[in-house]
Amino acid sequence: MTHSQPVINPVQKNHVTIAGDPAARSTLLFLHGFGTDQTAWRQIVPAFEKHHRIILMDNMGAGQSDKTFFSNTHYLNLQAYAQDLLDVCASLQLENMVFVGHSVAGMIGVLAAIQAPQYFSKLILIGASPRYMNDSNYHGGFAKENIDAIYANVMSSYASWATGFAAQTMGNPDRPELARYFAASIQGQDVNHALSALCAIFQSDHRADLQKLKTPTLLVQTKEDIAVPLCVAEYMNQHIEASQLLVINATGHLPHISAPASVIQAIQDFLDA
């Protein structure tokens, strides 16, 4: 007697939530970056709920995603996360939606849009990067020894590493409550899940994929970002055919949290274009 495998429901697996106007002609899908979950968009979503259908989801291992589906080996590359995104798109029968992705989610969206462009009408990438590690003639922001030190610190003292990392990447030291929020969000994620995600992020190199993307893309970058230097955004702008770069009046790697008004305006202007 054989037993069939249980049917995986992508909506439940990635804790998909739907808000806004269910009858709206326009759909926006928001995907978070490392250390946060879908609640990171709480200051952004209300600005678009009236005229858009809003879809939020948690990357596997984060938030309220179903951790029973998590596998360290499977999620050691961004393509696995991109497939989760595509599974959600297929399950919800999406067409021509606007994707908004922060940090690593930006490249997850790029990979998904290359594979199945019918789901996407526009991409809005906030602080995205195709490669975080420095290379010859390429400055990604992190030397190999920096990345090795991050791995070691995560494994030896996760909570204290999260506190320091959050302060550096959030920036805005005049508002320490922002870094405390981010640190608590990181610490709320299981250390093994976080380490696997960091490996997938820092070992990724999708520079060659950028030229494959044909979907109109807005690159949103802050004036100062320790995790993703401006030169990375400029590199992406040069290699994505239908892209434009917008440097907003904000600092830090998480402007949707630290400067939501600027991010809302950037999204709205691109939607109206």
- Which of 225, 243, 256, 258 is labelled catalytic? 225
The answer to whether position 47 is within a domain reads yes
Contact 56, 84 (CB under 8 A): no
- Which of 15, 32, 102, 253 is labelled catalytic? 253
The answer to whether position 88 is within a domain reads yes
The answer to whether position 185 is within a domain reads no
For the cut 90, the answer to whether the pLDDT of residue 8 exceeds it is: no
- Please give the tally of structural domains in the chain: 1
How do residues 203-256 score in pLDDT, each as one tens digit? 999 999 999 999 999 999 999 999 999 999 999 999 999 999 999 999 999 999
Give CA–CA dist 192/23, Å, rounded.
Answer: 40
- Which of 103, 129, 196, 243 is labelled catalytic? 103
Helix (H) or strand (E) holding 129: none
Portion of the chain with pLDDT greater than 90, in percent: 94
Active site residue 15: no
pTM of the model: 0.95
The answer to whether position 200 is within a domain reads no
The answer to whether position 136 is within a domain reads no
The answer to whether position 151 is within a domain reads no
Contact 15, 63 (CB under 8 A): yes
The answer to whether position 137 is within a domain reads no
Active site residue 253: yes
Contact 217, 123 (CB under 8 A): yes
| Residue numbers of the domain that contains 80 | 10-130+206-272
The answer to whether position 217 is within a domain reads yes
Rounded to a whole number, what is the distance in angstroms from the first to the last CA of the chain?
Answer: 58
Active site residue 103: yes
CATH classification at residue 70: 3.40.50.1820
Give CA–CA dist 20/35, Å, rounded.
Answer: 25
For the cut 80, the answer to whether the pLDDT of residue 7 exceeds it is: no
Task: Mark residue 179 as left, alpha or beta (left: phi above 0; alpha: psi -120 to 50; beta: remaining).
Answer: alpha
How do residues 33-74 score in pLDDT, each as one tens digit? 999 999 999 999 999 999 999 999 999 999 999 999 998 889
